[in-house]
Structure 1
């Protein structure tokens, strides 16, 4: 197929995706929020509550990260680093993982991450949000919360997987003739979010 024909077909697909995104935003606007408790998380200086993670915002984005054992979760988190300063101009943002605060701090420093992290290891947060698999393994994703007076409500969430909308690298690779082309190579089943 000629370059121009394929380019036109791809442009049409992108318009369809944009239309679907608009429908998704419309659906989120109609959701009946689900109240959640004010979970407590571990941080290096002690503990922090979910309500405190909003900062000055009415909205909060919490990433469900599987921790240092997951190379894909690290890939996603590397991407948050670049957008963090922009995201926090609109909403609170934090990455939650089962790792201890000391492990999180050391790993974040090694990656140059600037976003805040909390440990949900000693809470039911990940399980209650649906980010623990039937086999008991952690699952990656994102939950969005909103203040509703004195209450906290969850308004949306979605899981992460290779090829999703939350890691830009997949979309660049989609433009290559061979796609991901076997990248990144073999990944240990025990440390990959795609196999939990």
Structure 2
């Protein structure tokens, strides 16, 4: 294929991709909001924090569902989110929730330099009820992703959600790697890059 034809095909595919993304967003907005109870999550001190307070006097909230310290991929996503925390917080409050106990979360967050709020769902059915955990022979298998919420007259609703995975739109490092001559080249996240 000639260079010009390749560029034209790439442009065409990007246009199709953008059109499909817009179609997905349009379909998501047509879904009815899902009522959600006022779950109690645990802060770094082990204190119960009601979901309603996370809105911080605003009407929208993002919750990142993280699998916890044991998942190197979720650690990568959290590293990336940490770099995006200021624009995210400017648009809507957000927190990262994992099933790890609060002390484990706090120690791990400090070791990574994370500056966002982390909460624990260890004593709550929050993660399971929202579909980010599935039964497993050894207990529960947690899934990474994000949920968007709104609050109206004290009632919480989930308006959208999505799951995370390599190459998704939420962790941009994969897209940078795809531009390299050898692509991702079997690269995998690590706990340390030094």
Q: State the TM-score, normalizing by the size of structure 2.
A: 0.90
Question: Comparing 2-11 with 98-107, which one deviates more in the overlay?
Answer: 2-11
Do structure 1's residue 22 and structure 2's residue 22 form an aligned pair? yes
TM-fit CA distance, 1:165: 0.9
Structure 1 residue 11 displacement after superposition: 1.9
Gap regions ≥5 residues in structure 2? none
Any idea what SS the aligned residue of 1:177 has? coil
What aligned pairs does 1:27-46 form with structure 2 within 5 A after superposition? 27-45=27-45, 46=47
Please point out which of 180, 183, 189 is paired with 2:187.
Answer: 183
- Which whole-Å CA distance do the structure 2 matches of 1:118 and 1:58 have between them? 19
Gaps of 5+ in 1: 188-196
Output the aligned Cα RMSD: 1.5
Paired position in structure 1 for 2:147:
143
Alignment-derived partner of residue 124 in structure 2: 123
Distance 2:83 2:57 in 1: 21
Residue 172 of structure 2 corresponds to which residue in structure 1?
168
Tell me by how many angstroms 1:177 deviates.
3.2
- Measure the CA separation in 2 of the matches of 1:176 and 1:4: 20
- CA drift at 1:74: 0.5
Whether the 8 Å contact between 2:101 and 2:122 is mirrored in structure 1 is yes
The total of aligned residue pairs comes to: 186
Q: Contact 1:97 / 1:121 at 8 angstroms: preserved in 2?
A: yes
Residue aligning to 2:66: 65
Deviations 1:59-89 (A, max 9, x none): 1110110011000000001111111110111
CA distance in 2, matches of 1:4, 1:171: 23
CA–CA separation in structure 2 for the residues paired with 1:22 and 1:39: 32
Instruction: Pick one of 148, 151, 156 that aligns with 1:152.
Output: 156
Tell me what 2:114 maps to.
113
| SS, match of residue 116 in structure 2 | coil
User: 1:95: how far off?
Assistant: 0.2
Q: Distance in 1 between matches of 2:158 and 2:188?
A: 34
CA–CA distance in structure 1, aligned partners of residues 101 and 135 of structure 2 = 23
Which residue of 2 is the match for residue 93 of structure 1? 94
